[in-house]
Chains A and B, each alone.
Chain A
Amino acid sequence: MEPYSEKVMDHFSNPRNVGEIQDASGVGTVGNAKCGDIMRIYLDVDDNQVIRDVKFKTFGCGAAIATSSMATEMIKGKTIEEALKLTNKAVMEALDGLPPVKVHCSLLAEEAVHAAIWDYAQKHHLAIEGLRPPKADIHEEETGCPV
């Protein structure tokens, strides 16, 4: 396998925003243990729909942990609307790239953010433009993991 970039190694070794948020505004969990990665993102959103705090927990490889860390860093302090625009590509670029076999980790991170926002919207009965229901698992279609 290709080596990880320094940024990936940094976010893997010193992940930002690890943890849980009690009574979170929204929680999203994506991935599948069978395929080797699960990400969970907790959001604390204020009345102006600004993400005041974000935490994550991830079971997975170095890239899975690093993309979770980077994605949380990129949406912290942003509005829900801005956070929804986060793409896996942006996460990858921020990490100075990922080995090709690890691209699905960035997709998982994007999906985890969406899932947490979806949960927030459901709990608060909000209709948010561009928000789609989270996929139960992105692996099958994106990477072919036979769940």
Chain B
Amino acid sequence: MESFIYMDHAATVPTRPEVVEKMLPCFTEQFANISSTYTIAQRDKATVQKARETIAEVLNASADEIYFTSGGSEADNWALKGVAESYAAKGRHVIVSAIEHHAVLHTAEYLEKHGYEVTYLPVDENGIVRMEELKNSIRPDTILISVMFANNEIGTIQPIEEIGKLAHEHGVLFHTDAVQAFGQVPIDVRQMHIDLLSASGHKLAGPKGIGLLYVRKGIRLANLIHGGGQERGRRAGTENVPGIVGFAEAVRLAAETMGERAERMSELRDYFMDRLLAEIPYVRANGDRKRRLPGNVNVSIQFVEGESLLIMLDRKGVCASSGSACTSGSLDPSHVLLAIGLPHEIAHGSLRFSLGEDNTKEQVDFVVDSLKEIVQRLRSMSPLYEDFISEQKKANA
């Protein structure tokens, strides 16, 4: 394969070789369906239980509060639909932030079609939920607040503990989509008053096709998938043993290296952002500079469009992503960038680089240098830039 610089770790992360190694025997020797009664099935069941315990420990949960799913999207769907169904007698009002992943937002819209009311909570210019506004939107019939731990596009980390506390003071359940945060920043479900939490394996160098929903003991949650007694009767389907084992190993490794990794990546991230802001004119940093995922870089580059930037970066072997409408096939740019108040035309020119532990300073330098050239080239053919420059000349004349 040609050499490339991968800076799209928020999309997915290559599975660690140690993780793959742990998984491999689960395809061949440890292949049993763990619902069976014979010895080898019981042995494999113990392996799954151990994996469950490993993950629970990292979250400060107990093993029987962890429910394995097919991924983060299923976990989000289950949390919202499950709570909505089980607590309908108490109320039919749900609060979600405006910058949630579509797995939450589209599920909320689905609930609206089924007789629930949803408040889409606005965020401030850095993407952080305003506590006063959240408090004011809680009603007697509110059953659930869902606010993501950290945003996938702009990396902003929410005041999760405060939100959890507020929810519990009002007798409301609190769900957080921690797909981006898990393995990157410390999470303690007890201390942070989290009732339900979604996570995904492949975002932290585990395999794809495995995720989890943490459900605090005592919470009622209607089943999403019916047809078997797996996951204590709450989520049917033969266990994805290789996935579960790989997920647990990835979580263990992520937890072990978290502090050192976060420090190194935050430093690289800040260096990256600082260079972009200093060396390319008319660039805006998106998201909170401090309360931010260690690897997340998000900027809007004025007068150019995101997809063009991405294709040109790709031709230099750089993998990144954009909030431009053109990359999603929809007509509107990213809902997250619009929610933090960016005008459409600025949102169209946004780029996200999500760093991973293998990225180096040399790679960042290469990307910044390439981007400077690319932006210059695209601006030279941009009528918006032409107008801007002629306006400036007029103003200075």
Mark A residues whose CB is within 8 Å of B: 1, 9, 12-13, 15, 18-20, 29, 33-40, 56-65, 101, 139, 143-146
A26 CB to nearest B CB, Å: 15
Q: How far is the CA of A36 from the CA of B326 in the complex (A)?
A: 8
Chain A contact residues: over half helix, strand or loop, or mixed?
mixed
The one of A29, A36, A57 that contacts B382, using a Cβ cutoff of 8 Å: A57
Q: How far is the CA of A94 from the CA of B21 in the complex (A)?
A: 50
Contact assessment for B311 and A59 in the assembled complex, using a CB-CB cutoff below 8 Å: no
Whether A18 touches B308, Cβ cut-off 8 Å, given contacts A36-B324, A61-B326, is no
Whether A29 touches B305, Cβ cut-off 8 Å, given contacts A12-B311, A61-B326, A101-B329, is no
Cβ-based interface call for B383 (8 A) = yes
Contact assessment for B344 and A59 in the assembled complex, using a CB-CB cutoff below 8 Å: no
B29 CB to nearest A CB, Å: 41
Q: How far is the CA of A101 from the CA of B307 in the complex (A)?
A: 13
B359-383 interface bits toward A, Cβ cutoff 8 Å, 1 = contact, 0 = none: 0000000000000000000001111
**Nearest chain-A residue to B382 (Cβ)?**
A59
B323-334 interface bits toward A, Cβ cutoff 8 Å, 1 = contact, 0 = none: 011110101110
The one of A36, A139, A146 that contacts B305, using a Cβ cutoff of 8 Å: A36
Q: How far is the CA of A145 from the CA of B326 in the complex (A)?
A: 12
Contact assessment for B383 and A57 in the assembled complex, using a CB-CB cutoff below 8 Å: yes
Contact assessment for A58 and B325 in the assembled complex, using a CB-CB cutoff below 8 Å: no
Contacts of A143 in B (CB 8 A): 331
Contact assessment for B384 and A38 in the assembled complex, using a CB-CB cutoff below 8 Å: yes
Mark B residues whose CB is within 8 Å of A: 303-308, 311, 315, 324-327, 329, 331-333, 343-345, 348, 380-386
Contact assessment for B382 and A58 in the assembled complex, using a CB-CB cutoff below 8 Å: yes
Contact assessment for B383 and A38 in the assembled complex, using a CB-CB cutoff below 8 Å: yes
Q: How far is the CA of A60 from the CA of B386 in the complex (A)?
A: 14
Number of residue pairs A-B, CB distance < 8 angstroms = 75
Counting chain B CB atoms within 10 Å of each CB, which of A15, A37, A57 scores highest?
A57
The one of B304, B307, B329, B386 that contacts A20, using a Cβ cutoff of 8 Å: B386
A-B pairs with lowest CB-CB distance, top 5: A33-B345, A61-B326, A61-B307, A34-B344, A40-B383
Chain B contact residues: over half helix, strand or loop, or mixed?
helix
The one of B303, B305, B331 that contacts A145, using a Cβ cutoff of 8 Å: B331
Contact assessment for A34 and B345 in the assembled complex, using a CB-CB cutoff below 8 Å: yes
The one of A56, A61, A146 that contacts B324, using a Cβ cutoff of 8 Å: A61
Whether A29 touches B383, Cβ cut-off 8 Å, given contacts A36-B324, A36-B348, A59-B303, is yes
Residue contacts A-B, CB under 8 angstroms, 19 given? A1-B327, A9-B311, A29-B383, A33-B345, A36-B305, A36-B325, A36-B348, A57-B383, A57-B386, A59-B384, A60-B326, A61-B308, A61-B326, A62-B308, A62-B326, A63-B326, A64-B305, A101-B329, A146-B331
B385 CB to nearest A CB, Å: 8
Contact assessment for A58 and B383 in the assembled complex, using a CB-CB cutoff below 8 Å: yes
Contacts of A13 in B (CB 8 A): 315
B278 CB to nearest A CB, Å: 24
A14 CB to nearest B CB, Å: 11
Contacts of A15 in B (CB 8 A): 381
Q: How far is the CA of A1 from the CA of B381 in the complex (A)?
A: 24
The one of B344, B380, B383 that contacts A39, using a Cβ cutoff of 8 Å: B383
Contact assessment for B331 and A62 in the assembled complex, using a CB-CB cutoff below 8 Å: no
Q: How far is the CA of A101 from the CA of B329 in the complex (A)?
A: 6
B308 CB to nearest A CB, Å: 6
